[in-house]
Structure formats: structure tokens, C-alpha cells
Chain A
């Protein structure tokens, strides 16, 4: 079975631009979460979606938005990029059973120049 797939794997953008990151969860997983991991830190929660509804939002500015599609795939959008948005963006999917943990993708490495 395919794991969580994220695209693109790497991306370079200029300050002020907009970016869209994509995530396909494991088949059957209805929950998708997004995390930002800056170098040397643990991942920070951005959003969680379940059945196309937002279930949680982390402490990120309104420049960050996301949505989930009927096939449970998800997009993360970041507007007006800042240098500080440079990070590894991780997507995770789950069935909702907490004990089984979330399954993460390999991430999208975003560099803002």
C-alpha cells in the first residue's frame, strides 16, 4: 500500500509569493494534519482536517490556509511568503485511532529566498 505522499518534494520561492503544497493520505484515512518543522526543532502543528472539516488550527497567521477534498487529499496554502516560512512541511494521516499513531509523509522542503 502507498504511504502518505506529498508533492513537491522540494520548492524554492521568493518572498511575497504564494505556494501550494499537496498531500495524499493513506487509502481509508480520513484525517489529515499539517506540521511545520524548522531546522533544529520539532514539528509544529498547523491544521487538522477530518471529513473535509477543519478540526484544529495551530498558532499560525492567516497567511496559512488549508482544505481537504472529497477524496481526503489535502492542500496547504501559504500566502505572502516570508523568509521564516522556510521549513520542512509534513503531512500526516490517520484512521483516528490515537494508539496507532499518525502516519507521516516525507515532507516538502520549502526554501524562501
Chain B
């Protein structure tokens, strides 16, 4: 069974500093995709970044980058130059395709990030 593990329940970072949020995954599939979503207090999940298992380079989207280490089965999110608005819950997720041409996202438990002035 596929599993996502986020071991940091809460993290603090000072404004303008970089922070790394950890994510490890377990799967026997060779083809898979990994996501990071941000959930502010308003509730909606905001897509941040995607990494495919066959992508040769680590994904980057603005201040977000994904440190993908396939052999270690880790997909850590790096946020550079943290801003107060980055304070939120962050979820790592893996896509689970099914035999019906559909898919589901399997989420970890999340990490709460607080950015301080």
C-alpha cells in the first residue's frame, strides 16, 4: 500500500529565511507523482508543486522547490525567502491511479508552518 509520511507536526521559520518541510513516501510502483499543497485557515487546498517519478530535474515553482531523492523515497518541499503569508498547513500527497482511468490523492498528515517576523 502506498503511504505518505510527514514527521514534522509543526515548524517555525523567521521571515525571509528558507525552510524545508519533510516528506517520505512508500510505493512499489515505478511510475508515480508527488504533490505539495498549502492549506490556509480558510480551508481550501492550494496546489504548489508537482514532481513526476521520471522527471530528471527537481521541480521548481517560484519560491517553492522540491528536493526529490528517489532512492531515499523523499520529496521535501523547500520554501525560500519565507513570507508571513506562508503560515499555513502543508500537505504532501501521492497520486494513486486506479483501474477505472481515475485517480485519487493520498495525503500525509501535514505540517503546520508558522512564519514569524
Contact = CB atoms under 8 A, between A and B. Distances in A.
Do A and B assemble together? yes
A103 B105 CA distance: 12
A55 B43 contact: no
Contact of A42 (B98, B101, B108): B108
A65 B66 CA distance: 36
Interface string A11-55: 000000000000000000000010100001111110010100011
A102 B50 contact: no
Contacts of A104: 37, 44-46
Contacts of A102: 45, 47, 105
Interface residues of A, number: 30
Interface in B77-117: 91, 93, 95-96, 98, 100-110
B103 A56 contact: yes
Contact of B102 (A4, A43, A50, A106): A50
A92 interface: yes
Interface centre among B44, B96, B110, by most chain A C-beta atoms within 10 angstroms, is B44
A21 to B, nearest CB: 14
Interface string B37-60: 100001111110010100000000
Given A98-B33, A101-B35, A106 B42 contact: yes
A3 B93 CA distance: 21
A103 B47 contact: yes
Given A43-B91, A55-B100, A92-B45, 4 more contacts: A4-B44, A42-B4, A42-B108, A101-B37
Top 9 closest A-B pairs, CB basis? A55-B102, A101-B47, A42-B107, A45-B104, A56-B102, A104-B45, A106-B44, A107-B43, A106-B43
